[in-house]
Chains A and B, each alone.
Chain A
Amino acid sequence: MSQLQAVNDFVVKFANVNGSGSASANKLFAQSILRMGVTATPRNIFPSNIQGLPTWYEVRISEKGYMGARGGTDLMVAMNPQTWDQDIKSIVPGGYLFYDSTRVIPPSKFRADVNVIGVPLTAICNAQYTLSRERQLFKNIIYVGALSALLDIDPDAIKGLLAEQFRGRDKLIQANYNALELGRDYALKNLACPIGLTVRRADQIGDRILFEGNAAAGLGAVYGGATVCAWYPITPSTSLAEGFTKYCEKFRKDKETGEKRYAIIQAEDELASIGMVIGAGWNGARAFTATSGPGISLMQEFLGLAYFAEIPAVLFDVQRAGPSTGMPTRTQQCDVLSAAYASHGDTKHILLFPEDPNECFVMGAQAFDLADRLQTPVFVMLDLDIGMNDRLCAPFKWDDTKRMDRGKVMTAAELDAGRDFGRYLDVDGDGIPYRTYPGTHPTKGSFFTRGTSRDRYARYTEEGAAYQDNMERLLKKFRTAATIVPPAIRRDAKDATKLGAIYFGSTAPAMDEAIDMLAATGIAIDALRIRAFPFGAEVETFIEEHDQVFVVEQNRDAQMRTLLINELEINPKKLQRVLHYDGSPITASFIAGAIEDTAASLKIVPLRKAVS
């Protein structure tokens, strides 16, 4: 039988039962590879469940440093009898199956083209431990130990991680070492080690860190000066509010008095969450909510109010597949349109698209400056793939000389000096008016906040001309926004090409790899990563400079493509859809395949004529 051979380039998938404590053991496995200087990218695939349903943990190991999902499994660690059949099926021919051989499994349950590695994990465990919880948890460490022998992972890397994890609790460290050795010993004595897949020390990691996007965004909110967080639990955004809470407790709680320089409210629903954020923003605090698509749907009315009343607000939307329960624990980029045009009336909102945890942090902080500067809601569009997975990324950096940009806020001194204050008066020509915080001055600068029915001085009016004047100014403000949001990043192919690809958010690592794959097949493609809406001039230029532009996104309806067509008046024929929306993270082979297919079919059509 063939045996897959690969060094630092394979996919290991763990099939576990939710709630069995496997997650930390699996993370330990991934981290040990990182400690050996090799790129490892873990992804959780989990059900809408707390205990009992199947869960998977996939680790892609890549010599070239690719971090997108790859698809297919080279080594399956099958720890869940429920999903045995489907897990066996997903192994590539010549791949490996690692399983608990304590119970005899009939030969018909295996595949002839897969290499089987049996380790009697339960038997080893039961001989060693008596407590059921110990048996369960150490079983996970035992398989990590066995895998380390099979894949030639340095056991010291794992031990180092365990020592750090349980620092100060020596008994626990030793107990974990013992379990690790049990697994290693069994494998070394009874199995041919290593198998065809091995990890070899390299130097790819540098100073990069492994972190989760949601927690990074929560940390960004702390650095961005957010003081009010109002949220309602919803997968996959919950760990964002929890991350904010954690870092606030760490950094913002007075050591002596215990006083908190933040306030976090778990609201009764998403309507109340955004209401509180708007109330706090109106009153001069930096405030945010964390939610997902259904929450954005519930917040629509308030978002219109915030847009028209020009109140700063930050929303973290951790996107997931559509309604109700089940698929919502799967990733998508399906809220682009509902966020961009959220609410009733003519509205448009600022969107930011982070690609990884580092950008979740950066944009998580920057969103508050933009919201204050532009006096409007700002959405940070994460998704489950970056939000809830640990991902290797550049270390966090902060410039200590940086100060919060609170935007145009008129002070009591300025009012006393006789500055003209009109809440909706465009004094600088950028469409952004001045505001005052409530309580600023005894007789000057107060105003009544309403939706739309007011003039430049916030006086009540239902005059059509005043309404239109205000609407035009809001458009001007949006044009200003396009000049200050993070610009799209362009990366041109080595060879000149008329093909372009636009992508954003969590698609980035798969796209990087797809570009290399396409280059290998002779297709050169320039790439543009959109980081914000409204689009800067560079987006229009990029589309103009290419004959065909592929818009790669993770939703069914090509929402970013629609936004580009609508906002930039692009000929729809010029923008090709590349859509992945089955709930799994997009892969390089999917993107490259789709682009290759379309490119091939396009050559049949006299392309240049059709476009010009």
Chain B
Amino acid sequence: MTFLPKPKLHHPKLAENGLGFTRRDYEGSISTLCAGCGHDSISAAIIHACFELDLPPHRIAKLSGIGCSSKTPTYFLGNSHGFNSVHGRMPSVLTGANLANRDLIYLGVSGDGDSASIGFGQFAHSIRRGVNMTYIVENNGVYGLTKGQFSATADKGAKSKKGVANNDEAIDLVAVALQLGATYVGRSFSGDKAQLIPLIKGALAHKGAAFIDCLSPCVTFNNHEGSTKSFDYVREHNAAVNFLDVIEGREEITADYPAGSVEIVRQHDGSLLKLRKLANDYDATDRIAAMNFLQQHHARGEIVTGLLYVDGESGDMHDLLGTAQHPLNGMNDDMLCPGSAALEKLNASLR
């Protein structure tokens, strides 16, 4: 980490987005993570994505659990309300926050210990409820803050920094998210900004449970020979299926692409997702096929990345519950309290 305070001034010609904000308006305080940490790249990608999408920073709520990844919400979106909750329980807190006000954008940031071990249950249930959120797991396969223990996403046979092999099967959060009905599922790599930023943008624009598993090597505890979450390993085994562009609004697709090389998905909010295919046989709108593809490539030792599945027609938890459009936290007495007359009637029926 650096101890230099972040300068408040910025270049007068710094680009502004549609709301007149600069990228700096989406930043947070200075990171206290290790220099070179993959998580900082993800924070930068979140800042970039929110800036480019013209999101008002205060309309985003960022929530996290406990761990290195969960510390990062301090380092981006300084004008957003943030909530550093308890270990593994971000999903329930986010679900409750979403119930209270359906009008905000919810960004949940978690890690592999937070989501695949202590919070595995909450991760799973928030996905199956279709909570409208972007859920990013900054996945490095180790517990950083407690100095290098394996997490549940560490691959079987992977070696720790001290040379001990992991004997337990790894949990693939992407596979679980697909199985539990996440309507937007992606995997990326903190070292691949070009792939990650559009993936986050697509997730933020998505209605429903959007899940991104982002491999994010731990430079201190899991970046050595024998690790399967190191920069080198992930680069070598990365099998990207597509490259995503998020096209905002309803602009026409005018460019010509060779047949079968591009897939366009229209999302609920009207945003268009343009997928340039890298694997010709991959269909990102076919959930069952995606699950099969994932398993086959996993067996070959490949890490499949890209936008793995998207349902452009997805709904969310509020649709399923039939909640009012007006946010619950803004309802007044007249909307909520049935009043004395109703009570008198009830009394009469109880005598």
A residues neighboring B (CB under 8 Å) = 34, 205, 207-211, 219, 222-223, 225, 227-228, 230, 247, 251-252, 254, 258-265, 267-269, 271-285, 287, 301-302, 305, 395-400, 402-404, 436-443, 446-451, 460
Output the nearest chain B residue to A437 by Cβ-Cβ distance: B329
The one of B58, B333, B339, B343 in contact with A440, judged by C-beta atoms closer than 8 angstroms, is B58
Interface residues of B in 18-76 (CB under 8 A from A): 29, 56-59, 61, 63, 73-74
Output the nearest chain B residue to A302 by Cβ-Cβ distance: B86
Do B74 and A460 touch (CB < 8 A)? yes
Would you give 27 A-B contacts (Cβ < 8 Å), ordered by A? A207-B351, A225-B331, A225-B337, A227-B331, A254-B324, A258-B322, A259-B322, A259-B325, A263-B328, A268-B125, A272-B91, A272-B95, A275-B93, A276-B99, A279-B98, A282-B96, A287-B99, A305-B85, A396-B343, A398-B337, A398-B343, A404-B332, A441-B58, A448-B74, A448-B81, A448-B84, A449-B82
Query: How many whole Å from B237's CB to the nearest CB in chain A?
Result: 34
Residues of B within 8 A of A211 (CB): 350
* Interface residue? B340 (CB, 8 A): yes
Query: How many whole Å from B5's CB to the nearest CB in chain A?
Result: 13
A283–B83 CA distance with the chains assembled, in angstroms: 10
Do A449 and B81 touch (CB < 8 A)? yes
A237–B229 CA distance with the chains assembled, in angstroms: 46
Output the nearest chain B residue to A263 by Cβ-Cβ distance: B99
Output the nearest chain A residue to B90 by Cβ-Cβ distance: A275
Do B95 and A450 touch (CB < 8 A)? no
Binds A, one of B100-108, B161-169, B291-299: B100-108
* Interface residue? B115 (CB, 8 A): no
Do A285 and B101 touch (CB < 8 A)? yes
Interface size on B, residues (CB 8 A): 62
Residues of B within 8 A of A222 (CB): 336-338
Do B81 and A399 touch (CB < 8 A)? no
Residues of B within 8 A of A267 (CB): 92, 125
A465–B280 CA distance with the chains assembled, in angstroms: 61
Query: How many whole Å from A307's CB to the nearest CB in chain B?
Result: 12
The one of A34, A258, A280, A402 in contact with B99, judged by C-beta atoms closer than 8 angstroms, is A280
A42–B325 CA distance with the chains assembled, in angstroms: 43
Interface residues of B in 335-351 (CB under 8 A from A): 335-340, 342-343, 346-347, 350-351
A272–B335 CA distance with the chains assembled, in angstroms: 27
Q: Nearest 9 A-B pairs (CB), nearest first? A: A279-B96, A275-B92, A285-B100, A276-B96, A438-B81, A284-B329, A283-B100, A279-B93, A209-B350
Q: A305-B86, A446-B80 are in contact. List 11 more A-B contacts (CB 8 A).
A: A222-B336, A225-B337, A265-B99, A275-B93, A280-B96, A398-B339, A399-B340, A436-B81, A438-B61, A449-B82, A449-B84
Query: How many whole Å from B323's CB to the nearest CB in chain A?
Result: 5
Do B74 and A396 touch (CB < 8 A)? no
Do B121 and A268 touch (CB < 8 A)? yes
A41–B280 CA distance with the chains assembled, in angstroms: 74
Query: How many whole Å from A51's CB to the nearest CB in chain B?
Result: 29
Residues of B within 8 A of A274 (CB): 92
Residues of A within 8 A of B80 (CB): 438, 446
| Complex interface bits, B303-338 against A, C-beta within 8 A gives 1, otherwise 0 | 000000000000000100111111011111101111
Do A287 and B339 touch (CB < 8 A)? no
Do A396 and B338 touch (CB < 8 A)? no
A276–B89 CA distance with the chains assembled, in angstroms: 9
Output the nearest chain A residue to B335 by Cβ-Cβ distance: A261
Do B129 and A261 touch (CB < 8 A)? no
Residues of A within 8 A of B74 (CB): 448, 460
Residues of A within 8 A of B122 (CB): 268, 271-272, 275
A301–B92 CA distance with the chains assembled, in angstroms: 14
- What total of A-B pairs shows CB separation below 8 Å? 224
Query: How many whole Å from A411's CB to the nearest CB in chain B?
Result: 12
A260–B102 CA distance with the chains assembled, in angstroms: 13
A252–B324 CA distance with the chains assembled, in angstroms: 10
Residues of B within 8 A of A443 (CB): 58, 79
Residues of A within 8 A of B82 (CB): 446-449
Residues of B within 8 A of A205 (CB): 351
Output the nearest chain A residue to B92 by Cβ-Cβ distance: A275
Query: How many whole Å from A164's CB to the nearest CB in chain B?
Result: 8
Residues of B within 8 A of A271 (CB): 89, 92, 122
* Interface residue? B97 (CB, 8 A): yes
Query: How many whole Å from A233's CB to the nearest CB in chain B?
Result: 15
Residues of A within 8 A of B329 (CB): 227, 280, 283-285, 437
Residues of B within 8 A of A281 (CB): 96, 100
Residues of A within 8 A of B318 (CB): 263
| Complex interface bits, B98-133 against A, C-beta within 8 A gives 1, otherwise 0 | 111101100000000000000001101100010000
* Interface residue? B241 (CB, 8 A): no
Residues of B within 8 A of A400 (CB): 339-340
A451–B65 CA distance with the chains assembled, in angstroms: 11
* Interface residue? B94 (CB, 8 A): yes
Do B97 and A279 touch (CB < 8 A)? yes
Query: How many whole Å from A434's CB to the nearest CB in chain B?
Result: 14
Supposing A223-B338, A259-B325 touch, asked if A284 and B101 sit within 8 A by C-beta, the answer is yes
| Complex interface bits, B213-251 against A, C-beta within 8 A gives 1, otherwise 0 | 000000000000000000000000000000000000000
Supposing A263-B323, A439-B81, A460-B74 touch, asked if A301 and B93 sit within 8 A by C-beta, the answer is no
A519–B281 CA distance with the chains assembled, in angstroms: 89
Query: How many whole Å from A507's CB to the nearest CB in chain B?
Result: 24
Output the nearest chain B residue to A436 by Cβ-Cβ distance: B81
Residues of B within 8 A of A207 (CB): 347, 351
Query: How many whole Å from A276's CB to the nearest CB in chain B?
Result: 3
A269–B89 CA distance with the chains assembled, in angstroms: 12
Supposing A211-B350, A280-B96 touch, asked if A439 and B59 sit within 8 A by C-beta, the answer is yes
Query: How many whole Å from B124's CB to the nearest CB in chain A?
Result: 8
Residues of B within 8 A of A398 (CB): 337, 339-340, 343
Residues of A within 8 A of B339 (CB): 398, 400
Do B97 and A282 touch (CB < 8 A)? yes
Do A228 and B100 touch (CB < 8 A)? yes
Supposing A280-B96, A400-B340 touch, asked if A446 and B81 sit within 8 A by C-beta, the answer is yes
Query: How many whole Å from A436's CB to the nearest CB in chain B?
Result: 8
